[in-house]
A = this chain, B = another copy of it.
Amino acid sequence: MTLPAPLTGVVPPVCTPLTPDNEVDTASLTRLVDHLVSAGVDALFVLGSSSEAAYLPDRHRRLVVDTVVRHVAGQLPVLAGAIDMTTLRVHDHVDAVTAAGADAVVVTAPFYTRTHPAEISRHFRAVAAHSPVPVFAYDQPVSVPLKLGTDLVAELASDGVIAGLKDSSGDEGAFRASLIATRGIPGFSVLTGSELTVDSALAMGAHGVVPGLGNVDPEGYVHLYRYAKDGDWDRARAEQERLCALFGMVGVGDAARMGGSSSALGAFKAALHLRGVIDCAATAVPQVPLSPSEVERVGKYLAAAGLL
């Protein structure tokens, strides 16, 4: 389907349910898609960071995008990450996800290698020239690890290279600068990857939101988005604060025993399992599983938020 321009609303980055032996659990995946679609989300984003894209081999990636695109069957747009180190490798992922029917691709700056704004610009221009579908720039400094500059985003946007920005930087000042700098560009979409400042981002004029926590509580973000669109900032703030409390689950994992990814993605998956959406909470190797007592704490977050 043709992507709306600008893309707006709630676009959850879809978790990738796995079996205990780290195969893609397509039955759970389609249940998760149903859980999200029935909550009223506006589009889906597969193969992003919350999808454990960095952990999925190419055959898993293909299975995920294929499963989701088929299951969604055009009801709403599917964006797909094409996450890899540099241009030619990204091209191959673009080919794979668009062959499967993705409606847009989401691409980071080059990583692993030391890079430069001029090279990042060349990278996005090459990917856009190669891609049959619109390209979203993915600003993910925790992973890449560099911040896309506002000037670069504005240049790529006004040249029609990118159709939108998915900003997971957590730097809301720079996010606003990118919003203002691209405001006059027809159809350009600015999405926040934050879970915690969605009301702020929408008040600034953000088009949409891509919250990992939206896997666990898609209705929450759908409500929050609607309150913001209605200008009901008091209810938006209250809903946001409820979600902030729920987001506390990302810290259940013992930092002496595991990294931030294991804890946060482990908590999202444990919550989806506790809510009955997916069959198994396993995260991909080499992530460390949550302990039973850590999973229990996830349950308490769910209960406190009225989700269990």
Contact = CB atoms under 8 A, between A and B. Distances in A.
A289 to B, nearest CB: 11
A288 B258 contact: no
Interface stretch (A155-163, A193-201, A216-224): A193-201
A203 interface: yes
A258 B113 CA distance: 12
Interface in A73-92: 83, 85-89, 91-92
B288 A119 contact: yes
A173 B145 contact: no
Contact of A285 (B122, B197, B233): B122
A204 interface: yes
Contacts of A244: 176-177, 180
A172 interface: yes
A170 interface: yes
Nearest to A122: B286
A62 interface: no
A113 B143 contact: yes
User: Which of under 10, 10 to 19, 20 to 34, or 35 or more describes the interface residues of A?
Assistant: 35 or more
Contact of A259 (B87, B115, B200): B115
B199 A286 contact: no
A113 B194 contact: no
Contacts of A195: 173
A203 B121 CA distance: 36
Interface string A174-196: 10110010000000000000111
Interface of A: 22, 49, 54-58, 60, 83, 85-89, 91-92, 110-116, 118-123, 126, 142-145, 170-174, 176-177, 180, 194-197, 199-200, 203-204, 231, 233, 237, 241, 244-245, 256-262, 284-288
Closest CB pairs A-B (n = 6): A116-B259, A122-B286, A200-B200, A173-B196, A123-B286, A172-B172
6 contacts: A58-B92, A112-B144, A115-B261, A116-B259, A176-B196, A199-B203
Given A122-B285, A170-B174, 16 more contacts: A54-B85, A55-B85, A55-B87, A87-B284, A114-B143, A116-B257, A116-B259, A116-B262, A172-B197, A173-B194, A173-B195, A176-B196, A176-B244, A177-B196, A199-B203, A200-B200
